Structure 1
């Protein structure tokens, strides 16, 4: 069985805590989103933690709103959320010895009907979004 995950990584010249602070602040998500679909934080806490719910104004062809829930959380190292769909967006931060951080973003659709996701082109589309998001997050974190 296929892994059913799309992941990309980048090394960022910033401490994991700075990067995690941006990921855990939903109001900052539009600043680094490379998919072009995240518009603004609609509701939720200033800082996410396990179980937090937060809403985003989105646009994928048409505007819509979505509510997410944080389903994995380890301060400074891991955060993942999902909405009504069973797939997850996961961010893993691995601090490196030289003070940089390897950041891996994953679209994990192993919880979903993989055939439907593949037919709709989500794995390839989300890979392209991740490939545009990571450089934006890198720039944001390195510029402080």
Structure 2
């Protein structure tokens, strides 16, 4: 069986609570994103509970629509240790459909002002009907997670 997730880890010189606060703020996600696909938070409220839904405006040159919107549902919210969300789309009838891929950040305090951050992209729950469409997982290069973690670290220092 093949591994169906990819992770990267970076130590940042800020407290875990500050890192968590940045991650729980959807308005920071475009600045964190290592691909440039995330454009802007359509839902700007901080993430405060499991099951909360937030939307992001996206752009990808190879997406059929170019500009599109994703819907995310918070799966884990354990301040200041972990936060994760599943990504999908809103269908024309208003129903949400999730694709089975999850973004997760695990935070391990290494002291009062240092945190080890692990970002994991997991596509193990992607159903066969989506895989049949020929979507490659992960849909980005290996540098994406590392870039995202460096962007997160920079953002934590300026906030």
RMSD: 2.1
Structure 1 partner of 2:37: 37
Q: Residue 69 of structure 1: which of 70, 73, 87 is its match? A: 73
CA distance in 1, matches of 2:48, 2:23: 8
Question: CA offsets per residue over residues 16-73 of structure 1, 9 Å max, x none?
Answer: 0001001001011112111110000012523342111000000111110011000112
Matched, 1:9 2:9: yes
Contact 2:49–2:74 (Cα < 8 Å) also in 1: yes
Query: Is the contact between residue 8 and residue 105 of structure 1 (CA under 8 Å) also seen in structure 2?
Result: yes
Q: Which residue of 1 aligns with 2:144?
A: 129
Richer in helix (by share)? 1
- Give the TM-score, by structure 1 length: 0.89
**Match for residue 109 of structure 1?**
123
Equivalent in the alignment of 1:23: 23
Alignment-derived partner of residue 157 in structure 2: 142
Task: Provide the TM-score with structure 2 as the length reference.
Answer: 0.81
Count of aligned pairs: 143
Give 5+ residue unaligned stretches, structure 2.
Answer: 88-97
Q: Any idea what the Cα deviations from partners look like across 1:62-120, whole Å, max 9, x if unmatched?
A: 11001100011211111110122111000100001363100000100111148939x64
Q: Over alpha carbons, which structure has the higher Rg?
A: 2
